[in-house]
Amino acid sequence: MPAFILALLPLFFSAVRLFMMANMIAFVLRLAVGLGLSFFVIEPIADDLLNLLLMKIDGLPGDVAAWIGYLNIDRYLSLVISAYAIQITTNFFARLSPV
């Protein structure tokens, strides 16, 4: 094998490694989106924060609590908390990308 090809092999393999790392991070993000991100975010993070917020709401008068239930504010809070957690997770994986 010619010497210049042997000299280029480490450069080639480092480029392949960078390419594979970038694709692996993109694959993990696609997998997370495909699972609805509930597997990664809602169970470990959003449920605890939602329970904390609902405990704060628990001391409200009955009429206010009924309106909160009627307007599905707990679902709204769950969506907002999940969206923030998903954005933080996505930014974290984007920073890991070597490309």
What is the reported pTM? 0.49
Smallest Cα–Cα separation from 50: which of 14, 85, 77? 77
Question: 30 with 61: CB under 8 angstroms?
Answer: no
pLDDT of residue 40: 62
pLDDT averages per 10-residue partition of the chain, 99 residues: 72 76 73 65 69 78 84 81 77 69
**Domain boundary assignment for the chain:** 3-96
pLDDT of residue 41: 63
pLDDT of residue 99: 54
Give the integer Cα–Cα distance in Å for 43 and 49.
10
